[in-house]
Chains A and B, each alone.
Chain A
């Protein structure tokens, strides 16, 4: 064995190995080549095993050649491996492709009831003005539902509230959220900014625009200087929040026994924009709530001195607001709970 022969063997191993690397059909062949040439029992090691038979001066030279060949073969295999894995990946990706245009796997969509959501949205608007939510009982008594609201027994204004009476002396289902005013006045005392949402009941034949169970939101504000101008400003802001900043409003006299002066609050018809259509009874306006300055008698029943304090109250039907916002024409739909109807809502 001489240096030249061994060097030549290494060089030829290098040539065949690099050729084999570049010709390898897959990474498995490269793995085999790696073992065959570079492994502990591989070709390079086998050749270098003869190094002991060389003169000491030649040994480093052969070692150098061996390292060079090893590096070259390693490089060739690595290069081939990189090339092959790219094409194998490409092949795998190609094989994995799906029809991306099919619909996705549906996630069941729930929804929140439009009446509950509208009540919440109303509360959100007034919350910006410091109004906090209170709730009162639905089973009320005649005294709180009527008498303390300045509606004595046998008062003709009782015709405004057809009442469902209960089989308990003096009890009834509240016809409006207004009795909550009395409860809040006693509970808090001025200054008051309260919002009272809730379910109400009336003896009312059900049709597209009447329900015997419905939801109201009542508002109450009491302080020394709380005026009708404050009421108007607040209601204007409310109407703009719910129906758009451009929506004209109208403040006109109304009648409730528990407010004096009393107010009816209109917005320009959302269907015809004032052109006068059947939806607004050809008036061009739609009434969205009733309001007024709390009657001094009601303040007194609430334990508040009407000589010092004054305030306003307002009340609205949630269904009415929801109808106008969501273009619902038959309010029976709200309690029919057909999921095809409810599924539209957020």
Chain B
């Protein structure tokens, strides 16, 4: 809400500087977003008086004027027609700057020198009039900078949705008064009614849906002359951010800004008549399919939950949202029907959303309106129409709820207020604070209940009356309904800065482990291994989901949500690129690779811990995953290193490191040849017991091409399900006593057919080396002479030992011999 200080001052005296006022309002909960100097962009614009106005010698449409600005007389060329000697006008001197960074210099116009410019209201952004020069009152002092006279300060106040009452100059004046202990001057609404038929005789009102329109106040003003509003009105509306339209429309906008009461005006001639021959305003739900062209000249199809203002035949306006073109006030309008109504907030909000028509009016209606304002708003509008448009106000008003509501009673216990706030304020102190915002208090009386909560259903307690007060909440404060609302008001008016600051010393909950323990260890391990953590968007494109779908998902560890089912889509996505929740991290990581390659970073080692999402019917599943991407040089290129590219084994090594740090069983691999995302010959399914389940492999060249990866390097991706990633604890590691007896290494080279996987050889060794085998590692793979072309030699180192003795040579040989004897079973032999 834009608040010109000059307007605010009509309702309350302000002794503070604008900045001080802004801070006080902010500390009161009315956050001031900015303090704008209205007119700060007028430089070197002063008040002048026209001395002469003559025809330009060489241009029909230009005038040659002389102007005094007090200390000098200037000759200025001007194109406007509304000027005459003796008028006081704004003069932009040479060197002036106008809004829009428009610089004014001495110029020559058709052979005549012009020493500046006479300004229109629009050029100054002071009024809406662009056609003529802004004519100022005759008593405007000569030579004074325009900014000194018409400059203003505009506060931009962020009024929260619960304080619709403060969406007005009057409402904010009440807040200023509370902050500065000043008095609010109530708006002077003096309606000088004319003679003749009363409003009630002029027209009728038939509210057929009172649930959606609890109050309708109407007034009739006849004989208006529609035209521009007075300059000062236009200035004020512009400063408040409202474009001037005409005196009639401006009057309703002025009342909306001043009192917070949206008003609509109808051309009375367009309101159809009822059975008695008088115009009849009908307030009803629209009929399905009924149509109305709104003021923005868009044809709207209405539905049965839309409230309309209508005449007996047709809708005239969408209630609270926008008027209809068929009843719009025009230059020809003479008689006006003023509508000042209270509508159901939910209905207005729904309609505004459905029609995509959210306006200053609808945003006020949807926050709820004070019933009292209906009458006040109608009266004030009538008064302004009389003053600005010369109308005759018909006596009386039409009012469907002539009895004004009384203040609401909200009981509260000062002790509970203190318990909530952590303060020790006396009841009298609390009463005094509430009085500053117009909330009077009295001792609670029998029957008063303290409302602790209204929803899900009323929770009210019968209080100890001697320790309970009842607040009489003024009708505009619709936000104070339960005891804690009173507590906020007490704290707010006193100042949150006075709430004490203490360290909580209440009971601590029992121990509970953090669900982030495993995730944290994984993150630190991978960062330590040279990988960079990334965070990518969970919302991806349909193409993304499709391209990176796995034929066989990586299952989650037991007990966690399993992948599978249908992707979850967003019905109102910001873009198609972010319209589905991802099912795995593979595509997101490939995007990270692509982005960084594009940015000229060729070596990438990245990981992300994030979720996959899917649903089956109403069953939504979210599962945690670790994703890894490697490409480019393994190890940073340097003068003292021979670089080699990352390959599958690097990714497997990362998984093995994780398994070791987490104390998981050794990883086992199986070839994966049928996942379209991956290279069929360079991809593995990996498992470590049932604690780690992964797919790890090179990206299929087709996918790399389709994703436009600018690299000839291989890209390795992994998607890993890991026990504890979702929520898990790290079990303490189990120590093994280091034996006193030496363990012995025996090397064994085994020749097998090329097609025999190393995993099979390793399994055979483990099965046949006997109980003495402590550790087994592959340390070389050899192909070539003297082996056959389809053979390879795998060299293993067997660590053998017994905890209770040093092994003898025969024992060692027996262990090796056991393995060698079993080799033929897999078509292998010991390499001589």
**Chain A residues near B (Cβ < 8 Å):** 102-113, 115-116, 120, 123, 127, 129-130, 132-135, 137-139, 150, 154-157, 159-160, 164-169, 171, 173, 188, 191-193, 199, 201, 203-206, 212-213, 221, 223-230, 232-234, 236-237, 250-255, 257, 260-264, 281-283, 293, 295-297, 299-301, 306-307, 310, 334-340, 342-343
Shortest CB-to-CB span from A71 to chain B, Å, is 41
Q: List 7 A-B contacts (CB under 8 A).
A: A223-B507, A229-B502, A230-B504, A283-B26, A306-B459, A335-B537, A343-B532
A167, B569: Cβ atoms closer than 8 Å: yes
A224 to B416, CA, bound (A): 11
A-contacting residues, B142-177, CB 8 Å: 160-164
**Which of A106, A154, A224, A306 touches B636 (beta carbons < 8 Å)?**
A106
A229 to B568, CA, bound (A): 43
**Which of B491, B581, B620, B640 touches A228 (beta carbons < 8 Å)?**
B491
Q: Mark B568-605, 1 if CB is under 8 A from A, else 0.
A: 11111110001001000000000010011001010011
Question: Which residues on the B side are within 8 Å of A250 (C-beta)?
Answer: 27, 497
**Which of B26, B499, B535, B615 touches A337 (beta carbons < 8 Å)?**
B535
**Which of B35, B503, B531 touches A237 (beta carbons < 8 Å)?**
B503
A310 to B516, CA, bound (A): 28
A-contacting residues, B627-649, CB 8 Å: 635-636, 638-641
Say whether B318 faces chain A, with CB atoms less than 8 Å apart: no
A-contacting residues, B504-535, CB 8 Å: 504, 506-509, 512-516, 520, 523-524, 526-535
A296, B453: Cβ atoms closer than 8 Å: yes
B613, A138: Cβ atoms closer than 8 Å: yes
Q: Mark B7-42, 1 if CB is under 8 A from A, else 0.
A: 000000000000000100011110111110000000
Shortest CB-to-CB span from A304 to chain B, Å, is 11
B422, A133: Cβ atoms closer than 8 Å: no
Which residue on A lies nearest to B604, using beta carbons? A339
Given contacts A281-B34, A339-B604, 4 further A-B contacts (CB under 8 A): A156-B363, A165-B571, A212-B578, A226-B506
A339, B596: Cβ atoms closer than 8 Å: yes
A213 to B570, CA, bound (A): 13
A168, B568: Cβ atoms closer than 8 Å: yes
**Chain B residues near A (Cβ < 8 Å):** 22, 26-29, 31-35, 160-164, 345-346, 349-350, 363, 366-367, 419-423, 452-456, 459, 461, 482-485, 487-488, 491-492, 496-497, 499-504, 506-509, 512-516, 520, 523-524, 526-539, 568-574, 578, 581, 592, 595-596, 599, 601, 604-606, 609, 611, 613, 615, 618, 620, 622, 635-636, 638-641, 727
A112, B523: Cβ atoms closer than 8 Å: yes
B350, A154: Cβ atoms closer than 8 Å: yes
Question: Which residues on the A side are within 8 Å of B568 (C-beta)?
Answer: 139, 166-168, 171
Question: Which residues on the B side are within 8 Å of A336 (C-beta)?
Answer: 595
Shortest CB-to-CB span from A261 to chain B, Å, is 3
Which residue on B lies nearest to A295, using beta carbons? B484
B422, A252: Cβ atoms closer than 8 Å: no
**Which of A112, A159, A254, A337 touches B536 (beta carbons < 8 Å)?**
A337
B640, A192: Cβ atoms closer than 8 Å: no
CB-based closest 8 A-B pairs: A229-B422, A253-B29, A108-B530, A227-B422, A261-B488, A255-B160, A110-B527, A296-B453
Shortest CB-to-CB span from B80 to chain A, Å, is 38
A263 to B491, CA, bound (A): 11
**Which of B164, B528, B538, B578 touches A138 (beta carbons < 8 Å)?**
B538
Question: Which residues on the A side are within 8 Å of B28 (C-beta)?
Answer: 253
Question: Which residues on the B side are within 8 Å of A229 (C-beta)?
Answer: 421-423, 499-502
A116, B535: Cβ atoms closer than 8 Å: yes
**Which of A160, A169, A226, A234 touches B503 (beta carbons < 8 Å)?**
A234
Which residue on B lies nearest to A204, using beta carbons? B574
Question: Which residues on the A side are within 8 Å of B537 (C-beta)?
Answer: 213, 335
A337 to B574, CA, bound (A): 20
A165, B506: Cβ atoms closer than 8 Å: no
A230, B570: Cβ atoms closer than 8 Å: no
**Which of A159, A253, A260 touches B161 (beta carbons < 8 Å)?**
A159
Shortest CB-to-CB span from A169 to chain B, Å, is 8
Question: Which residues on the B side are within 8 Å of A338 (C-beta)?
Answer: 595-596, 599, 601
A130, B508: Cβ atoms closer than 8 Å: yes
A127 to B511, CA, bound (A): 11
Shortest CB-to-CB span from B59 to chain A, Å, is 46
Question: Which residues on the B side are within 8 Å of A224 (C-beta)?
Answer: 506
**Which of A103, A138, A203, A297 touches B622 (beta carbons < 8 Å)?**
A138
A137, B526: Cβ atoms closer than 8 Å: no
Question: Which residues on the A side are within 8 Å of B618 (C-beta)?
Answer: 168-169
A264, B31: Cβ atoms closer than 8 Å: yes
Which residue on B lies nearest to A139, using beta carbons? B620
Question: Which residues on the B side are within 8 Å of A339 (C-beta)?
Answer: 532, 596, 601, 604, 606
B504, A226: Cβ atoms closer than 8 Å: yes
Which residue on A lies nearest to B423, using beta carbons? A229
Pick from A203, A253, A343 the residue with the most CB of B within 10 Å: A253
Which residue on A lies nearest to B601, using beta carbons? A339
Question: Which residues on the B side are within 8 Å of A342 (C-beta)?
Answer: 532-534
A325 to B29, CA, bound (A): 27
B34, A282: Cβ atoms closer than 8 Å: yes
Question: Which residues on the B side are within 8 Å of A340 (C-beta)?
Answer: 599, 601
Pick from B367, B500, B502, B536 the residue with the most CB of A within 10 Å: B502
Question: Which residues on the A side are within 8 Å of B601 (C-beta)?
Answer: 338-340
**Which of A134, A168, A337 touches B515 (beta carbons < 8 Å)?**
A134
A1 to B574, CA, bound (A): 118
A164 to B164, CA, bound (A): 26
A293, B504: Cβ atoms closer than 8 Å: no
A109, B530: Cβ atoms closer than 8 Å: yes
A233 to B504, CA, bound (A): 7
Shortest CB-to-CB span from A320 to chain B, Å, is 15
A310 to B620, CA, bound (A): 33
A295 to B452, CA, bound (A): 10
A283 to B502, CA, bound (A): 27
B570, A165: Cβ atoms closer than 8 Å: yes
Shortest CB-to-CB span from B90 to chain A, Å, is 29
Shortest CB-to-CB span from A81 to chain B, Å, is 34
Pick from B349, B455, B529 the residue with the most CB of A within 10 Å: B455
Which residue on B lies nearest to A307, using beta carbons? B452
Pick from B363, B527, B622, B638 the residue with the most CB of A within 10 Å: B527
Which residue on A lies nearest to B353, using beta carbons? A154
Question: Which residues on the A side are within 8 Å of B535 (C-beta)?
Answer: 113, 115-116, 334-335, 337
Shortest CB-to-CB span from A255 to chain B, Å, is 3
A71 to B2, CA, bound (A): 110
A199 to B508, CA, bound (A): 27
A228, B420: Cβ atoms closer than 8 Å: yes
A139, B422: Cβ atoms closer than 8 Å: no
A262, B488: Cβ atoms closer than 8 Å: yes
Shortest CB-to-CB span from B376 to chain A, Å, is 22
A110, B531: Cβ atoms closer than 8 Å: yes
A130, B509: Cβ atoms closer than 8 Å: yes
Which residue on B lies nearest to A171, using beta carbons? B620
B29, A254: Cβ atoms closer than 8 Å: yes
